[in-house]
Amino acid sequence: MTDSRLPSAQLEGAQKAVLMLLSLDEAVATPIIAEMDESELRKLREAASQMRTVPSSALSQVYGEFVLASKEAIAVPRGGVRYLHQLTTRALGEEQSNAIFREPPPTPLDKLSNADPVALASVLENEHPQLVAAIASQLATPKAAALLEELPQKTRVAVIERLGTMTEVPVQLLEEIATVLSAELPEEQRDAVLNIDGLTQSAALVRKMGKEVGEEVLLTLDEGNAQLASEIRRSMYTFEELAELDPRGMRSLLEAVPVERLTLALKTASDRLKKTVFDSMSKRAAERIKEDMDILGSVRLADVEAAQREIVETALRLDKEGTISLNQEGGGVS
């Protein structure tokens, strides 16, 4: 098993940005996401999908005083890509967010770009240096360098010579060449795999079906795969969407939620949701929770998310029992 911990010296800009965003309150992170263009968000998505944990020495570059206070390794929360997707949806809307986070089918050139340098070199070693230079021009510099290292010295020189004088490559010709070459890669190098967040998509689809039809689907799924049905239910609503509850529904929900779990869950809640919650309880109770939140200080994001999921699950149970009514339309997911 490979170690996914990243040494401090290897942290790149996108990885630092992911660590920062995943540690911010959603209300703070959302406007930051809104200022980024699609290419930047794609870089964050790629970084988040590859990261697991980092040592505290690396995080000190990003978190400053926060890391100095915690002095411990911080794990990037599981589901980091999903959290970024959620933030992006809130900032840019569902349609644009899905366009960014849904992987397009790989092109033949993508397959070459993602191929192992050794395998790619075996395909290109007998090709004309001009063709190899054209392919190398479309690869990331580290991948192109690794490719050249696998080629004979004489070929390397010829490729560099031609690449150094290259100013343009016909797109259609390059695509045709890439199609032929990608078909010559070893089978394991040709197989394309698309990353699909099936849980998120399933939850969104069930919501779009409407309450009665969606619940019928989940009840049927319960019989064969109760765990998946439960995960879909949890993913159908975000903690933030509970702000849409009417006052009576919010009061009923708060009566069913332990105060200590609510206090923890509200640590990363938006001001809008906090106001909705505090307006649904007595002033004295609201002040007590605010004080408890201050006493908590810094808490792990994973613990906050766990508390939020518990409250969402309670809301789903009350909705099923008819005690409260959740809005069944919309595409937000947790």
Give the model confidence (pLDDT) of 79-126 as tens digits. Answer: 566 767 777 777 787 778 777 777 666 778 888 887 888 888 888 888
| Portions of the chain given CATH number 1.10.220.30 | 108-190, 239-326
Poorest-confidence range of 121-135, 212-226, 236-250, 281-295? 212-226
Which pLDDT score is estimated for 291?
92
Q: What is the mean pLDDT of residues 260-287?
A: 92
SS3 assignment, position 74: strand
3-state helix, strand, coil in the chain (%, to 5): 70, 0, 30
When pLDDT is cut at 50, 70 and 90, the band that residue 73 belongs to is: very low
Q: What is the pTM of this model?
A: 0.43
Contacts of 89 (CB under 8 A, 6+ apart): 97, 98, 331, 332
SS3 assignment, position 47: helix
Q: CA neighbours within 13 Å on the CB side: how many for 211?
A: 9
Contacts of 188 (CB under 8 A, 6+ apart): none
When pLDDT is cut at 50, 70 and 90, the band that residue 290 belongs to is: very high
In whole angstroms, what is the distance from residue 302 CA to residue 11 CA?
Answer: 22
On the 0-12 / 13-18 / 19+ scale of CB atoms within 10 A, 13 is: exposed
Kindly report, residue by residue over 155-203, the tens digit of the pLDDT: 888 888 888 887 887 888 888 888 888 888 766 544 444 455 777 777 8
Contacts of 168 (CB under 8 A, 6+ apart): none
Q: What is the mean pLDDT of residues 60-71?
A: 50
Which pLDDT score is estimated for 144?
85
When pLDDT is cut at 50, 70 and 90, the band that residue 1 belongs to is: very low
Name the phi and psi angles at 199, rounded to 5.
-65, -45
For the chain, the straight-line distance linking the first and the last C-alpha, in angstroms and rounded, comes to 29
Contacts of 74 (CB under 8 A, 6+ apart): 19, 23, 53, 54, 56, 59, 63, 67
Poorest-confidence range of 35-39, 63-67, 261-265? 63-67
239-326 is classed in which CATH architecture? Answer: Orthogonal Bundle (1.10)
Which pLDDT score is estimated for 64?
54
How many C-beta atoms surround the C-beta of residue 232 within 10 A?
24
Per CATH, the number for 11-101 is 1.10.220
- Choose the CATH number for 198-236 among 2.60.40, 1.10.3470, 3.40.50, 1.20.5: 1.20.5
For residues 155 and 125, is the Cβ–Cβ distance under 8 A?
A: yes
On the 0-12 / 13-18 / 19+ scale of CB atoms within 10 A, 172 is: exposed
CATH class of this structure's domain 108-190: mainly alpha
- pLDDT at residue 50 greater than cutoff 80: no
Q: If you average pLDDT over each of 3-12, 50-59, 167-176, 249-258, which comes out highest?
A: 249-258
- pLDDT at residue 33 greater than cutoff 90: no
**CA angle at 35 for the pair 47 and 4, rounded to the nearest 5°:** 10
Q: What is the mean pLDDT of residues 148-156?
A: 87
Which pLDDT score is estimated for 16?
76
In whole angstroms, what is the distance from residue 245 CA to residue 253 CA?
Answer: 9
| Portions of the chain given CATH number 1.20.5 | 198-236
Distances (CA, A) of 185 to 30, 110, 149, 166, 190: 42, 13, 18, 26, 6
